[in-house]
Structure 1
Amino acid sequence: MRRQGLGVRRFACWAVAVGLARVCLGVHWAADVLGGRPCALTWLVEWGVVHGDVERRSRRRSGGRRTAWHRLQCCRRKGGLA
């Protein structure tokens, strides 16, 4: 759980840095960057809700057993398919 929090913080820092860089380079106005943040956050939250719902449904259908999808995700987290 702690590593997941670190990943979220890294991503947040990266997102802020990209936004600042785009404003400094003159590619976007500051209002564009600031307006894009709520849109991106909304999209991420909706994606997370849908993904979580799909995962819960697949576990319910499989009777709590790990499906092929769950095994694939586990292998990806461990660093490869074996």
Structure 2
Amino acid sequence: MIADPLTEALATARDIAGRSPDAIRAAKRLLNQAVACDALSALTAETSEQRALLGSPNQVEAVRTNLENRAPMFADALV
């Protein structure tokens, strides 16, 4: 049992907010599709999402962030 659910939820939200917005949107799309598709369709969709993310500015920023041990500066095209 979680001692303080609100604290845990806020920590999870902060963790998600610190990730690439492109990757978060892709993960949400895949989760939404997962309930209504077969394994082949799910793997095809995942491959498509990965191809779109790899080499994108936010994916490069995520790698640099880890290598340089600093906070990310993601660009969010939807803002």
State the TM-score, normalizing by the size of structure 2: 0.34
State the TM-score, normalizing by the size of structure 1: 0.33
- In terms of fraction of residues, the more helix-rich structure is 1
